[in-house]
Structure 1
Amino acid sequence: MMLIYRGHWRPIAISQIFALLYVAFMIFIPMQVMIIINNAQNINAVIQNAVLIALFAVLTGIFCMANTVYAVRIAEATGNYIRNGIFTRIQNFSFGNLDRTATGELLTRMMSDVYQINIGVHLSLRSLLMAPFAIIVSLVLVGITSPELLWILVIVLVLSIATFGSAMYVMQKQFQIRQAKYDLVNNDLQEDMAGIRVVKAFVRQDYEINKYRSINDAYRRANVRPLHTNAITMPAALFIMGLATTLLVIYGSPLVAAGTITIGAMLAFFQYTFIIIGQMWQLSMLLPQIVSAEASAGRLKEIWYTVPDVQDSPVSRHYALENVVGKIVFENVDFRYDSKGETETLKNINLTIEPGQTVAFLGANGSGKSTLVSLIPRFYDVSGGRVMIDGVDVKEIPQENLRNIVSVALQKAFLFSGTIVENIRFGRPDSTYDDAQAAAQVADADSFVAAQQDKYDARVARKGQNFSGGQQQRLSMARAFTVKPKILILDDSTSAVDVETEGRILDALPRFLSGVTRLIVASRVSTALAADKIVVLEKGEIVAMGTHKELIKSSPLYQEIFDSQLGGLKKEDLS
Structure 2
Amino acid sequence: MNAYFPFLKKYLTAFLMAPLLVFIDVMGEIVQPVLMSRIVDQGVQEKNLHYIIITGITMLVLSIVAIIGNVGNIYYSSKASVGFAAELRQGLFRKIQTFSFLNIDKFSSASLVTRMTNDINIIQNVVMMSLRLLIRAPLMLVFGVFMAARINSSLAFIIAVAIPVLGISIFFILRKSFPYFLRMQQKLDHVNGAIQEDLMNIRVVKSFVRESFEEKKFSISNNSLRDAAIKASAIVVMVTPVMMLVMNISIVAVVWFGGKKIISGTMHIGQLMSFITYITQILMSLTMLSMTIMAFSRAGASSKRVLEVLNTDVDIVDTPSALERSIKIKAGKVEFRNVAFKYHKEAKRYVLNGINFIAHPGEQIAIIGATGSAKSTLVQLIPRLYEVGKGKILIDDLELKDYSLKNLRNSIGMVLQKNQLFSGSIKDNLRWGNPGATQEEIILACQEAQAHDFIMSFPKQYETELGQGGVNLSGGQKQRICIAMALVKHPLILILDDSTSAVDSTTEAKIQDEFKLYLKEVTIFIIAQRISSVQLADKIIVLDSGKIVGMGTHDELMKTNKTYQEIYHSQQQKEGAVK
TM beyond 0.5: yes
Partner of 2:522: 516
Partner of 1:268: 274
Q: 141-150 vs 105-114, which deviates more?
A: 141-150
Question: Match of 1:280, as an amino acid?
Answer: L
1:353-392 correspondence runs (5 A)? 353-392=359-398
Contact 1:484/1:513 (8 A) holds in 2: no
Structure 1 residue 52: Cα displacement: 1.4
Q: Structure 1 unaligned runs (5+)?
A: 571-575
Partner of 2:412: 406
Q: Find the aligned partners of 1:122 and 1:320 in 2 and give their Cα distance.
A: 48
Structure 1 residue 198: Cα displacement: 3.1
Partner of 1:11: 14
Contact 1:120/1:286 (8 A) holds in 2: yes
Q: Structure 2 unaligned runs (5+)?
A: none
Contact 2:170/2:239 (8 A) holds in 1: yes
Partner of 1:173: 179
Structure 1 residue 6: Cα displacement: 4.4
Root mean square deviation of aligned Cα: 1.5
Question: What SS is found at the alignment partner of 1:411?
Answer: coil
What is the aligned counterpart of 2:29 among 26, 30, 45? 26
Q: Does 1:451 align with 2:454?
A: no
Question: What SS is found at the alignment partner of 2:435?
Answer: coil
Structure 1 residue 530: Cα displacement: 1.1
State the Cα deviation string for residues 449-469 of structure 1 (Å, max 9, x = none): 101111101101111111111
1:453-532 correspondence runs (5 A)? 453-532=459-538
Question: What SS is found at the alignment partner of 1:330?
Answer: strand
Structure 1 residue 197: Cα displacement: 3.0
Partner of 1:433: 439
Q: Find the aligned partners of 2:192 and 2:208 in 1 and give their Cα distance.
A: 23
Question: Match of 2:157, as an amino acid?
Answer: W
Distance 1:47 1:516, change over 3 A: same
What is the aligned counterpart of 2:326 among 318, 337, 360? 318
Contact 2:340/2:389 (8 A) holds in 1: yes
Partner of 1:156: 162
Q: Find the aligned partners of 2:115 and 2:215 in 1 and give their Cα distance.
A: 25
Q: Find the aligned partners of 2:558 and 2:528 in 1 and give their Cα distance.
A: 17
Contact 2:332/2:493 (8 A) holds in 1: yes
Q: Find the aligned partners of 1:162 and 1:389 in 2 and give their Cα distance.
A: 65
Q: Find the aligned partners of 1:72 and 1:414 in 2 and give their Cα distance.
A: 38
Partner of 2:315: 309
Q: Find the aligned partners of 1:399 and 1:379 in 2 and give their Cα distance.
A: 10
Structure 1 residue 568: Cα displacement: 7.6
Q: Find the aligned partners of 2:179 and 2:541 in 1 and give their Cα distance.
A: 54
Stretches of 4+ aligned residues off by more than 4 angstroms: none
Question: Match of 2:225, as an amino acid?
Answer: Y
Q: Find the aligned partners of 2:21 and 2:90 in 1 and give their Cα distance.
A: 29
State the Cα deviation string for residues 383-442 of structure 1 (Å, max 9, x = none): 100011111111211111011222111111110001101101100111111111111111
Partner of 1:143: 149
Q: Does 1:113 align with 2:105?
A: no
Q: Find the aligned partners of 2:175 and 2:327 in 1 and give their Cα distance.
A: 57
What is the aligned counterpart of 2:200 among 187, 194, 198? 194
Contact 2:155/2:254 (8 A) holds in 1: yes
State the Cα deviation string for residues 529-560 of structure 1 (Å, max 9, x = none): 11111111101111111111111111111111
Structure 1 residue 8: Cα displacement: 5.1
Question: What SS is found at the alignment partner of 2:366?
Answer: strand
Identity over the aligned pairs, expressed in percent? 34
Question: What SS is found at the alignment partner of 1:148?
Answer: coil
Q: Kindly tell me the number of residue pairs found equivalent between the two proteins.
A: 568
State the Cα deviation string for residues 362-402 of structure 1 (Å, max 9, x = none): 11011121111111111111110001111111121111101
Question: Match of 1:319, as an amino acid?
Answer: I
Q: Does 1:347 align with 2:350?
A: no
Q: Find the aligned partners of 1:287 and 1:534 in 2 and give their Cα distance.
A: 64
Q: Find the aligned partners of 1:320 and 1:385 in 2 and give their Cα distance.
A: 22
Question: Match of 1:545, as an amino acid?
Answer: M
Q: Find the aligned partners of 1:73 and 1:306 in 2 and give their Cα distance.
A: 29
Q: Find the aligned partners of 2:206 and 2:575 in 1 and give their Cα distance.
A: 38
State the Cα deviation string for residues 187-226 of structure 1 (Å, max 9, x = none): 2221222223333444443332222111111101111223
Structure 1 residue 569: Cα displacement: 8.2
Q: Find the aligned partners of 1:431 and 1:7 in 2 and give their Cα distance.
A: 36
Question: What SS is found at the alignment partner of 2:31?
Answer: helix
TM-score for both structures, normalised by structure 1: 0.96
Q: 10-19 vs 530-539, which deviates more?
A: 10-19
Question: Match of 2:290, as an amino acid?
Answer: S
Question: What SS is found at the alignment partner of 1:147?
Answer: coil
What is the aligned counterpart of 2:68 among 62, 65, 80? 62
Contact 1:329/1:353 (8 A) holds in 2: yes
Q: Find the aligned partners of 1:262 and 1:124 in 2 and give their Cα distance.
A: 37
Question: What SS is found at the alignment partner of 2:170?
Answer: helix
Q: Find the aligned partners of 1:363 and 1:45 in 2 and give their Cα distance.
A: 97
Question: What SS is found at the alignment partner of 1:339?
Answer: coil
Q: Does 1:557 align with 2:563?
A: yes
Question: What SS is found at the alignment partner of 1:493?
Answer: coil
Contact 2:11/2:80 (8 A) holds in 1: no
Partner of 1:332: 338
Structure 1 residue 167: Cα displacement: 2.4
Question: What SS is found at the alignment partner of 1:385?
Answer: strand
Q: Find the aligned partners of 1:28 and 1:517 in 2 and give their Cα distance.
A: 81
Partner of 2:306: 300
Contact 1:510/1:516 (8 A) holds in 2: no
Structure 1 residue 258: Cα displacement: 1.0
Partner of 1:573: none
Q: Does 1:535 align with 2:541?
A: yes
Question: What SS is found at the alignment partner of 2:372?
Answer: coil
Contact 2:148/2:279 (8 A) holds in 1: no
Question: What SS is found at the alignment partner of 2:320?
Answer: coil
1:27-42 correspondence runs (5 A)? 27-39=30-42, 40=44, 41-42=47-48
Q: Find the aligned partners of 1:254 and 1:359 in 2 and give their Cα distance.
A: 98
